[in-house]
Every structure is written in C-alpha cells, then in structure tokens.
Amino acid sequence: MEVASRRDGASVARALRALAAEWPFALVFTTASIAVILVSLGGLKHGLALLAASLLLGSALRFVLSPARAGLLAVRRRGVDVVTMALLGLLLLMLAIVADTM
C-alpha cells in the first residue's frame, strides 16, 4: 500500500511539472479563450483586441523562449511561428480598430 501511494504521489508531481512546463501555451490559450468569450457576449472590439494581444504575446514568447521552454507554442521553425502569429495578431488588431466603422 505504501509503495502504491508513493507512486501515485510521484505521478501527480510529474504531471504537475509537465503542466508547469507548458505555461507559455496555457497563458496564450487562456487569454484567447477569454477573448472568444468576450466576442460571444457582444464585445466585438474588445474581444478582437484581446485576441490580437494573445497572438502577439504568443509570438513574442515564441521569439524569446528556447524551443524546449516554448513547449506547445513551438509547432514549426521559430521564424515561421513568430511571423505567422505576429501577422495574424496585427491583422486582428487592425480589424479591431475598424470594427466600429463596419
């Protein structure tokens, strides 16, 4: 019994370490999720701006962090990831700026 409880504790600790290693993705995903909720509740301009900020944050984190630290943000080569997220973030930011005039 005692050995089984130690294994369970070790597996929980290992799972928490693995989850903590993915903090960049969790931060970007949480921010993007809040943005989608804002848009669905009728705050189009603020939701788009937050979604753009989320993508720009992801781009900056991918640029600064090593591939091992970037975790799930590292999908392709660093340059491709950074440029893709930055362009999408800028396009969404421009859309948020002109959202009132549409």
pLDDT tens digits for range 17-72: 777 778 899 999 999 999 999 999 988 999 999 999 999 999 999 999 888 888 88
Does residue 36 contact residue 51 with C-beta atoms inside 8 Å?
yes
Cα dist. 88→3, 15, 47, 85, 98 in Å? Answer: 50, 32, 15, 5, 16
Distance CA 94, CA 96 (A): 5
**Residue 7 included in any domain:** no
Locus of tokens 């600064």: 64
In a domain, 73, yes or no: yes
User: Three-state DSSP class for 76?
Assistant: coil
Whether 91 maps to a domain, the answer reads yes
69 belongs to a structural domain: yes
Of residues 42 and 88, which shows the higher confidence score?
88
Domain span at 79: 23-101
Distance CA 97, CA 78 (A): 28
Q: Is residue 4 part of a domain?
A: no
pLDDT value at residue 1: 46
Note the pTM of the prediction, 2 decimals.
0.79
Q: Is residue 15 domain-resident?
A: no
In a domain, 13, yes or no: no
